[in-house]
Amino acid sequence: MPKDYLSFTSKPMKLTFVAFLALASILTAAEKTDPISPQVKQAVDRAVAWLMKQQKSTGYFSDQANEQKVAPGDVPSHSAAMTSLALMGLSSVGHVPSDPTPEGRAAAKGLKFVVDNIAPDEHGYLGKSDRSRMYGHGIITLMLTEMLGMSVDAGTDKKVHELAEAGVKLILSAQRVKKNDSNKGGWRYEPQSSDSDISVSVWQLMSLRAAKNAGLDVPADAIADAVAYIKRSYRSERDANGRPKDLAAAFSYEPYGGRQTFSTTAAGLLSLVVCGHYDAPEVVGGANFLMKSPPELNEPWFYYGNYYYAQGMYQRGGDLAATARRRTEDILVKAQSPEGAWFPKNGNEKSAGPVYATSLALLSISVYHHFLPIYQK
């Protein structure tokens, strides 16, 4: 890992043996990457400082001025999902909950908020407590699986493990809801939904893959079915063998239609590469499409689309990764506000707010330097 990375967090971190092995792996791989620029380092430092100012006394992250009441099973809307994004953003630049620094303590406090206040129902639904539905459920579950072994104490880690298992259980049961052939293998807004879309499915699939990496029980056919669903969203005619004819096409919001955009294509790309399908024709075609249709700041859902784009193209490697890195860093450094936040400007994403955008921007800009195991090659 570039020596400059260590300036993201200057004090030594307390690591479990498992986390130490994961970190050693990342250090070895990242030594071959270019060092971060002073501009990117400054952007990261400012973003981390801004995020920490948004943490409320009870531990959740919110850009709302007033702190709302918190009770187990009933927390402010989307607070667990947003806090989970913030935790992953902080951890991606080295500020993990076991780090004995102000940033690490903030991460630990955020993690404690989630494990103490998110109460899954009998089916394991984590997105119910903060009303973030299956979007939030996937984000929270992904965060929990990535934080295994990074807690400050055994009691918290036990809760993290229990909630992660509950989250995975719900994802698996929601996937098994009876669906038609087009929607089979995917997910949508609620656990009982009989249809699917790519924007919800990408979070569930990443959660399953991260859980499997962490040693949780995830049936191979669940991931295989999800991969098949994502591949059906690739918008190309197929030859007699089922292979796409167009190797520069988009992924659509749904397999049978819907919008075909930068963000849906980036979501499809990342979904497949985190499952090891690096050279699938749909991956090649999606990456080629993104080279022709790169992210623009005014793109609908730019911030989550750019997060998928940065991570997915990094996994493709070579010139594609280098191009995506340059574009991501250039856009985000210029778009950052003086106080250190990123503010979404387009459509529905605008209402998601700056904690959401800043967390995703950190995850995008830290692609070569993060700790999170799900994004390792």
Please give the full DSSP string across 192-213, using - where no structure is assigned: T-SS--HHHHHHHHHHHHHHHH
Q: Which two structure tokens, joined as six digits, stand for 82?
A: 């947003």
Mean pLDDT of the region 47-61 = 98
pLDDT of residue 258: 82
How far apart CA 336 and CA 357 sit, in angstroms, is 10
Tell me the average pLDDT of the chain.
Answer: 89
The pLDDT of residue 367: 79
Helix boundaries (H) for 239-301? 262-273, 281-292
252: β partners:
260
pLDDT at 369 over 70: no
CA-based nearest residue to 202, from 129, 147, 257, 251:
251
- Measured distance CA(346)–CA(336) in Å, rounded: 15
Of residues 57 and 31, more confidence is placed in: 57
Q: Are 201 and 207 in contact (CB under 8 A)?
A: no
Q: What domains sit in the chain, N to C, each tagged with a CATH number?
A: 3-375 (1.50.10.20)
pLDDT band at 7 (very low <50, low <70, confident <90, very high): very low
CA distance 330 to 361: 12
In the prediction, which pLDDT does 372 show? 61
Percent of the chain with pLDDT over 70: 88
Confidence of residue 162 (pLDDT cuts 50, 70, 90): very high
Q: Is the pLDDT of residue 257 over 90?
A: no
Using the structure block, give the residue that is written with the tokens 């070895």.
28
- Give the relative orientation of helices 79-92 and 38-53 as an angle to the nearest 10 degrees: 150
- Which pLDDT value is given to residue 23? 38
**pLDDT confidence of 19, banded at 50, 70, 90?**
very low
Mean pLDDT, rounded, for 229-247: 95
pLDDT for 38 equals 92
Residue 104 is encoded by which pair of tokens? 């690490």
